[in-house]
Structure 1
């Protein structure tokens, strides 16, 4: 389990060469049998830009103040608190003090929650973004520790099930938003724009071309309507869709240059700039984490 420590390098290779800014640390490991992914990190300033994940995120703050934007406003998690973020929920992260913050994050596949809910997760979500739940806190910390230590499969599965069981009391039938907000469907033009972006994230096109394709009067109507519906611009959404695809390809051990081309980025360096801004690490470091090469040694307090 990651705890606050004194290491000074960021995401590290097995040769201990820093590949990101000094002082920040990140460790990533995936358990292929369960599909769980564990992150242990410490950041001292800006951690990552606005982004989203396809998984359910359950995190625990070990030290410092973890400041992040989620569900329309900034929030702060302090030691002992649990962070709950749904698939597709945009969020960022930063420190608010010089000593930074340390946390674990557990990425849980959508299929896991779907199976736990009896095959139907279409209308569920977290009741709140921050929770005070000691049992869930310790379950998440133990699950991350088990994954990093490559514990026996039975132990990791037991940790997974404990986390899932504790999550039930935090799930709501309203996707964690006001019912009125949930009931309001996006404007047809905005919805068509989202469908277009999802279908053609690997292509290049401009706002005028996009507006014509989805039936908007012009690019201004398109941009206003899309932001009103989804809280972001078409371009920002396109970048996030490309990043999600890049992560999927890197999980499959596709080389970064090939992943960049397949996910719609101009080249590997273009993908790398966006990847670092969103996730606080390079695509190569992320891919090495996926192939079980340790990024850093867990710091000891």
Structure 2
């Protein structure tokens, strides 16, 4: 890509810029933040690592919205962060207002871009972005499933002592406590997980995955996770920027898939040069489908607050 913009130069936004620059995924990365000097300082700090890390990406930062002009992809990380004890839904009202303002800036300065929403609650905000812009669903997506899947795979590796290179995991549904880790679609180099772990351990991995973000927040107290979310964003951006056409769990707008419409949630998608190119429908068992519907029901409850 020629230019990627990141709105929000906090911990997630700054870490995302670092990951993207190191992968040389764009000629330019522009950071935008409401606090004067924050984005410019983050951009300069990262730029000064270029000779050491060997990347040619140029970074700029500003509190003026025109810094994102001409971006092909806009990544939205800005928003009120969770505090210990808060759910992602607890920050909904304020983050919707922040998102709406950002969308106005994107329409003005980067009207041909694609959007990658990261701010929480990501499922609701991804839906909101589609409603506010009227853009086709291939242009609007959210990041959650890649992060949740990575957490699940990490927990499997820790429990089995096996290499993460051989572990595949999959998480669907909303990015919250009702997310749906799919053990049936998770494996170690094609071998079912139950060959390595007993049912009690597998159930504990599912629960730990569901509360992965809250666990880190409770430990750190002063901030939520940012390294793993940034790495997950970079994985999605690489698939789009390099047209890899990877199948990655993505918050996407559903239009009949999985029996759902007018809602955004995490499902497997093909990501490539065309953005969110296609949703992949899995053959879910009755209990898996019920879990997914329960997760989506929670998202719809939050959507009702926006009506």
Give the TM-score, by structure 1 length: 0.27
Of structures 1 and 2, the one scoring higher in RCO (CA 8 A, sep 6+) is 1
Q: TM-score, normalised by structure 2?
A: 0.27
More helix per residue: 2
